[in-house]
Structure 1
Amino acid sequence: MMACCFGQLACTESTKKDLLAPTHPNVVIILADDQGWGDLSHSGNRNLSTPHIDQLAIQGVSFDRFYVQPVCSPTRAELLTGRYHLRSGVYGTSQGQERLDLDEVTLADVFRAAGYATAAFGKWHNGTQYPYHPNGRGFDEFYGFCSGHWGNYFSPVLEHNGELVRGSGYLADDLTERAMDFLEENKDRPFLLYLPLNTPHSPMQVPDRWWDEFKGKSLPMSLSSELAEDLDYTKAALAMCENIDWNVGRLMGKLESLGLDENTIVIYFSDNGPNSTRWNGGMKGRKGSTDEGGVRTPFFIQWKSTLAAGQVVPQIAGAIDVLPTLVDLAGIPLSPTKPLDGKSLLPLLLDAQQEDWADRTIFNHWNGHTSLRTQEFRLDKDGNLFQMVSDPSQSSPVNGLYPEIVTQLSKAKEDWEREMYRERDESQRPFTLAHPDAQITQLPARDGIPHGNIVRSNRFPNDAFFTNWVSTSDSISWDIEVLGRGDFLVEAFYTCSEENVGSKVGMYIGSSSLEFQVGEPHDPPLTGMEHDRVERMESYVKDFKPMRLGIVHLRPGKASLRLKAHEIPGTQVMDLRSLLFTRIHETME
């Protein structure tokens, strides 16, 4: 089941040396968010045009059957580690379940140790507080957001290397601009650039330039009425995909203008299936499903000076293979402290018709459901076997025709689930606070626990805030572990109407505490709907303002951080988006 990266290659060592010496290729990984396999013109979708992404397949190698996980953070964890996400502590998408275990070695760790400049621009979704933060996982540079989704795509509040900043313009464009600046700044040294874009994940926001092309457009490949496709949602998603394509074109143009395109490996894929019911090649399932449509994405890899253009690899592969493949291509030694599940795809990149490439099994898991894929078959979460070449829509189970294969794959599934369960650490992982290498730590509402009447603004926590704080018996808590010691300025990002000003609140962390009063009104309206092309499922957002609470002294150890009001002169205390801790100075006692 598990494979390490070296010693498994069908090509000879001399071939490898000829191929890889001493180029030190740059690496660019572009990851779309919720873009399905069918959301490209390269896949045959006539509803949109994606020439720049398609060109990566034309000038590079495309994998015809490439598999990720059904949702965002598990796929990202597998990309970063080469290991199944359940091994690395990632078993959810919010409230700490998205965090990558700290003893995992990431792709960025490996490349930075080899002398590469490393950067990530976009949606991280594998931990917020340092050292779960991207700057603690091997990335020298980070600009974007760490949450699972964001509530505003037009000049939102983001972070740059842990500090809060204001974005500039449409988010996908802004992230690409930052990526192009990074290319310029590091053109004279090898680099690893990770560009995890936030689109076409909802909320469905896209500039007029892209929306206007689709809003009145008739889609030639819309689904039948029985499938209940939301055409406006589809149009918004496709408009966002065309915007991604434009940004890919800009990024590739920058590489060419800098003379870097020949010696840069460029990878493009998505983190899961489409986020709505729309054309996806007739496959069963969408985002969140372990069926084919929920886990198959495009995967293109281009290295102009080295890989033959236009190859199509028919063998199955997955996100777990990216790390071992890239270290092989870059000639970087890898001695993993933990066994990898992925394997190097280098033999297939050199020869897509590898005759001695062994069949393998790739597992997909989400929300307690597991399916698995071999070259020919998929065993779904319910134990139904499908012959995928002839039946990509999984419409006709073939259990009766292949009882031995059903038995074999059912056992493989049970063994895999048992192994993943054994490796899963059920112990509590508190949210980390005050790490010695972090000047600032954020504790968002997403990671807190409301008590009493307090609720989140939406059932999806990632961009939500706490509201309905109406009683002195209500409280908010965070399960934390303080990792450093010192004095910290504490700020709350809040809103409060004028008639509710005056609440007195205490904050308690172990033996430390402070008292504060909500002294100034700040009551902006909810926003986001003015940019939405279709009604969103997630929380709307507000312009939360920082309020200084005071200075608190922290000591290492596990504790509960709790906010509790003592006096509420109005009808409620405030709405709360997050707490921000800024180190003032370190102490040695």
Structure 2
Amino acid sequence: EQIDAMGIGEQTLVLFFTDNGPEGRRFVSGYRGSKSSTLEGGVRSPLFARWKGHLKPGARTGRVAAHIDILPTVLEACSVPLPDGLKIDGVSFLAELENRQVKRDPRTLVIQAHRGDAPLLYHNFMARDGRWKLVHPSAFWRDTFEGEPNFQLYDLETDPYELDDVSDAHPEIVTRLLGDYEAWFEDVSAEREDPWAPPRIIIGTEHEKMTVLTRQDWRHTHGRPWGKNSRGRWHVHIEKAGPYRIECRFSPEKVPGVITLICGDVEVRQSVLPTTRSCSFRSVELPVGDMELEIHITEGDQIRGIRQADVELIPSG
């Protein structure tokens, strides 16, 4: 309504979609699995599109698409070509939204996700070509899986809830989808010189005045992940050397403590009073380069990580 009131409804494509699967035991309309699973309850997600004057209200498409298809769809809607030489994996589904008949080349969509710094072949993956889906739901929360992979094949046209594994009845389809998955795995593994290096958080760039560091972004080192006494280090890249203001936030305690910041050879400390929720290192000289940044609080014999830190380069002059 607001878009129409602004007079831009016919120039605005609205895409509404959800996260993948619920966290925990919630309603999934009969599908197996939940968030982080490669079964349908963990990967199936709706998408609604509105483009006044272009898309027919209430129309449905049976095409199976994925997140990688959003970019080419938006580019086509905006009549923006891809830069020369840029290759992407996604395929526009604008024709389906507009109810146009187009011939599509067959393709297999692959999803793989699990804990650990590097993907493990066959671990918690799915490969789907539309009707058929090959899956090895070996648990997202593990770095690896035990034993040989137990591949399952489902005909989603007749068995959308993945109740009947037909891998023994269709070994040729298992072989084909497994080959598609292995080719995908090799392709994504070769895109960068060090493809599985943990990405670094860039600090001190002109594109982001303040960088917010959270527990979710650190590399866990001690304690239960994200628990009260957990600790970790942020893998960062300092773009520009200079004095930085670092505001730290943490849970208060009833005893005094000492907060310590370590980044490469730099180590600074200050006292923390009981019930304090935040403190600031007003000027910390950080060098250029790849660093590991850690901020923790020591209270007696207990050491715990902070909750968040705001890191901001102090302007010169």
Normalising by the smaller structure, the TM-score range is 0.7 to 0.9
Which letter does structure 2 place at the counterpart of 1:299?
L
Picking from 524, 548, 552, the partner of 2:280 is 548
- Equivalent position of 1:492 in the other structure: 248
Q: 1:322 aligned to 2:70?
A: yes
Q: Is the 8 A contact 2:23 2:34 kept in 1?
A: yes
Aligned partner of 2:126 among 360, 366, 371: 371
TM-score when normalising by structure 1: 0.45
**For residue 509 of structure 1, what is the aligned residue in structure 2?**
263
Return closer, same or farther for 1:270/1:398 CA change in 2, 3 Å cut-off. Answer: same
Q: Which amino acid aligns with 1:442?
A: V
Once the two structures are superposed, residues 429-486 of structure 1 have per-residue CA deviations (whole angstroms, 9 ceiling, x without a partner) of 33332224433222323334566xx635xx3x3xx6x538xxxxxx864333211122
Q: Distance in 1 between matches of 2:187 and 2:3?
A: 43
* 2:296–2:303 Cα contact (<8 Å) kept: no
Correspondence for 1:393: 161
* 1:7 alignment counterpart: none
Match of 1:478 in 2: 234
Higher helix share: 1
**Which residue in the other structure is 1:559 paired with?**
291
TM-score (norm 2): 0.79
Are the structure 2 counterparts of residues 404 and 445 from structure 1 closer, same or farther at C-alpha, using a change threshold of 3 Å? closer
Distance (Å, rounded) in 1 between the aligned partners of 2:131 and 2:220: 48
Distance verdict in 2 for CA 1:259–1:402, change over 3 Å = same
Counterparts of 2:244 and 2:295, CA distance in 1? 17
CA contact (8 A) 1:386 1:397 kept: yes
Confirm or deny: 8 A CA contact 2:13 2:51 kept in the other structure.
yes
Q: Residue 522 of structure 1: which of 275, 279, 295 is its match?
A: 275
Match of 2:200?
430
What aligned pairs does 1:90-489 form with structure 2 within 5 A after superposition?
Answer: 253-335=1-83, 338-351=86-99, 353-354=101-102, 356-367=103-114, 368-381=123-136, 382-423=150-191, 425-448=195-218, 455=223, 459=225, 461=226, 467=229, 477-489=233-245
Report the residue type matching 2:274 in the other structure.
P
User: Does the 8 A contact of 1:284 with 1:392 survive in 2?
Assistant: no
Structure 2: state its 5+ residue gaps.
Answer: 115-122, 137-149
Gaps of 5+ in 1: 1-252, 469-474, 524-544
Contact 2:54 2:98 (C-alpha < 8 Å) held by counterparts: no
Q: 1:423 is paired with a residue of what secondary structure?
A: coil
Query: Residues 436 and 483 of structure 1 are in contact (CA less than 8 Å); yes or no, is this contact kept in structure 2?
Result: no
Q: CA RMSD in A?
A: 3.0
Counterpart secondary structure, 1:398: coil
Query: Which secondary structure does the structure 2 equivalent of 1:404 belong to?
Result: helix
Cα distance in 2 for partners of 1:450, 1:323 equals: 33
Partner of 1:584: 314
How far did 1:575 drift? 6.5
Deviations 1:203-255 (A, max 9, x none): xxxxxxxxxxxxxxxxxxxxxxxxxxxxxxxxxxxxxxxxxxxxxxxxxx222
Match of 2:70, SS?
Answer: helix
Higher strand share: 2
Cα distance, 1:387 vs structure 2: 1.4
Give 1:408 deviation, angstroms: 1.4
Distance 1:419 1:450, change over 3 A: closer
Offset at 1:324? 0.5
Asked if 1 retains the 8 angstrom alpha-carbon contact of 2:213 and 2:309, the reply is yes
1:157 corresponds in structure 2 to none
- Kindly state the Cα deviation for residue 558 of structure 1 after the two structures are TM-superposed: 2.3
Query: Quick one: structure 1 residues 575 and 374, their matched pair in 2 at CA, closer, same or farther if it must change by over 3 Å?
Result: closer
Alpha-carbon shift at residue 352 of structure 1 (Å): 5.1
In 2, are the aligned partners of 1:496 and 1:575 still within 8 Å (CA)?
no
Give yes or no for contact 2:295–2:306 (8 Å, CA) kept in 1: no
Change (3 A) 1:391 1:433: same
| Cα drift, residue 327 of structure 1 | 0.8
- Return the letter of the residue paired with 1:366: A
